[in-house]
Structure 1
Amino acid sequence: MYPRIMRIEQDATADVVKRLRRAEGQIRGVIAMLEDGRDCAEVVTQLAAVSKALDRAGFKIVASGLQQCLAADPDGEERKVSLDQMEKLFLSLA
């Protein structure tokens, strides 16, 4: 038996890429701040923002996969699970 392949929906993929690009820009900003000798508290604040952006991207990927797993009802009927609902649930644990 082969493992089931997780395919992320195109909308979720676009959102994850957008979040990762934003995080990439934030990381470049943090590097520049460090090189410029900026205040430690400012650097830490920006690092927290980067961390949150990466968490949201990861949760979006995981939620998309979980959505596929939850879509099949034990009775064989397909049920709808909102990606936003799954993301909120995951983020509430972070």
Structure 2
Amino acid sequence: MSGKHETHGDIVKRLKRSNGHLRGVIEMIEQGRSCLDIAQQLHAVEKAISEAKKTLIRDHLDHCLEETVGPLPKAERRSIDEFKEITRYL
């Protein structure tokens, strides 16, 4: 089971952008910018990181869990499929 997946490149890009954005927010704080502007930008950083996390979790479930469990009859897959579906609400 490999630890690297197709989506990891996109996740890294998203996190690097978030890192740059966060550095910008720190500069905003140091410059004394308005709390509303800072809060909006922090929200954007938080959302980007959250989306990266969701993508990573879904990717893991789609690949690693499938590899571990292997092929199952449809009736036995129900719990796994429901679990994967509920992660959309993380």
Normalised to the residue count of structure 2, the TM-score between the two structures is 0.72
Query: Residue 15 and residue 28 in structure 1: after superposition, are their counterparts in 2 closer, same or farther (change >3 A)?
Result: same
Unpaired runs of at least 5, structure 1: 77-85
Unpaired runs of at least 5, structure 2: 75-83
How many residues align? The count is: 78
Greater helix fraction, Structure 1 or Structure 2: 2
Query: Residue 89 and residue 75 in structure 1: after superposition, are their counterparts in 2 closer, same or farther (change >3 A)?
Result: closer
Normalised to the residue count of structure 1, the TM-score between the two structures is 0.70
Q: For residue 74 of structure 1, report the CA deviation from its aligned partner.
A: 1.5
**More relative contact order, 1 or 2 (CA 8 Å, 6+ apart):** 2
Alignment pair present for 1:7 and 2:3? yes
Q: List structure 1 segments (4+ residues) > 2 angstroms apart after TM superposition.
A: 5-8, 70-73
Identical columns (%) = 31
Cα distance in 1 for residues equivalent to 2:36 and 2:4: 37
Partner of 1:52: 47
